[in-house]
């Protein structure tokens, strides 16, 4: 598994969250992801919705993955909610040509909240990803009590506002032969 500390966008500071770490790796026919949120006592989790497709998940606590095949401008966006709802989209280029991305299997989503710690695990079939190797971006929106939202990414570049679609966010890689 590879690990990366995510960075909070300076325009949207968290209240109590002190750090977010993302891990990823390929295990058999699955891509496994984990986000670890420290200082999570005030994090608001959406209520259980079940494994169903749902738009607008980013408006509450949500974990996201972006995958852009090497050498192209097209990319896929995946949204995973602690409610266990999910979404997947294809883009032809930066924020253009959006279409629903078909998935062969609903992602397996496992949220676990403890005192001050929140773990969020996702497993998604490799068959549901664009071609590998690819650039990878793992991000999240964290909503805390009082309505405060913080935006975490591998890199935010110089954007004055959070924008997970920008090229700077694709700060990692995902290889077809990766092993944990």
CATH number where 89 lies: 2.60.40.1190
14 located within any domain: yes
Q: What is the pLDDT of residue 177?
A: 65
- Yes or no: say if 58 and 64 are a contact pair by the CB < 8 Å rule: yes
Residue 114 inside a domain? The answer is yes
Task: Note whether residue 156 is domain-resident.
Answer: yes
The number of folded domains in the chain is 1
Q: Tell me which residue range forms the domain holding 56.
A: 2-174
In a domain, 180, yes or no: no
Residue 58: its pLDDT value, please? 92
Domain presence at residue 49: yes
Give the pLDDT of residue 71. Answer: 87
Cβ neighbours of residue 125 under 8 Å, at least 6 residues apart? 29, 30, 31, 103, 104, 105
Determine what percent of the chain falls in helix, strand and coil, rounding each to the nearest 5.
5, 50, 45
Q: Is residue 179 part of a domain?
A: no
Task: Give the β-pairing of 99-100 and 108-114.
Answer: unpaired
Reported as a single tens digit per residue, the pLDDT across 140-176 is: 999 999 989 999 999 998 889 999 999 999 999 998 7
pLDDT of residue 95: 87
- Give 10-residue mean pLDDT values along the chain (180 residues): 96 96 95 97 94 94 97 95 97 92 96 94 96 95 95 93 92 75
pLDDT at 180: 46
Whether 42 is covered by a domain: the verdict is yes
Rounded to two decimals, what is the model's pTM?
0.94
Q: Is position 81 within any domain?
A: yes
């Amino acid at each position: 598994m590879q690990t990366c500390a995510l960075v909070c966008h300076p325009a949207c500071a968290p209240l109590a969250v002190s750090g977010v770490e993302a891990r990823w790796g390929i295990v058999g026919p699955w891509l496994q992801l984990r986000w670890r949120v420290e200082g999570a006592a005030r994090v608001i989790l959406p209520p259980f919705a079940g494994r169903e497709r749902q738009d607008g998940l980013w408006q509450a606590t949500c974990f996201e993955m972006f995958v852009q095949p090497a050498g192209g401008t097209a990319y896929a966006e995946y949204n995973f909610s602690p409610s266990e709802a999910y979404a997947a989209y294809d883009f032809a280029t930066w924020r253009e040509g959006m279409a629903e991305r078909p998935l062969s299997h609903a992602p397996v989503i496992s949220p676990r909240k403890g005192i001050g710690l929140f773990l969020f695990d996702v497993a998604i079939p490799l068959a549901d990803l664009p071609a590998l190797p690819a650039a990878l971006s793992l991000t999240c929106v964290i909503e805390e009590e009082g309505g405060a939202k913080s935006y975490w990414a591998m890199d935010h570049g110089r954007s004055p506002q959070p924008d997970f679609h920008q090229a700077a966010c694709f700060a990692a890689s995902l290889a077809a032969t990766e092993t944990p």
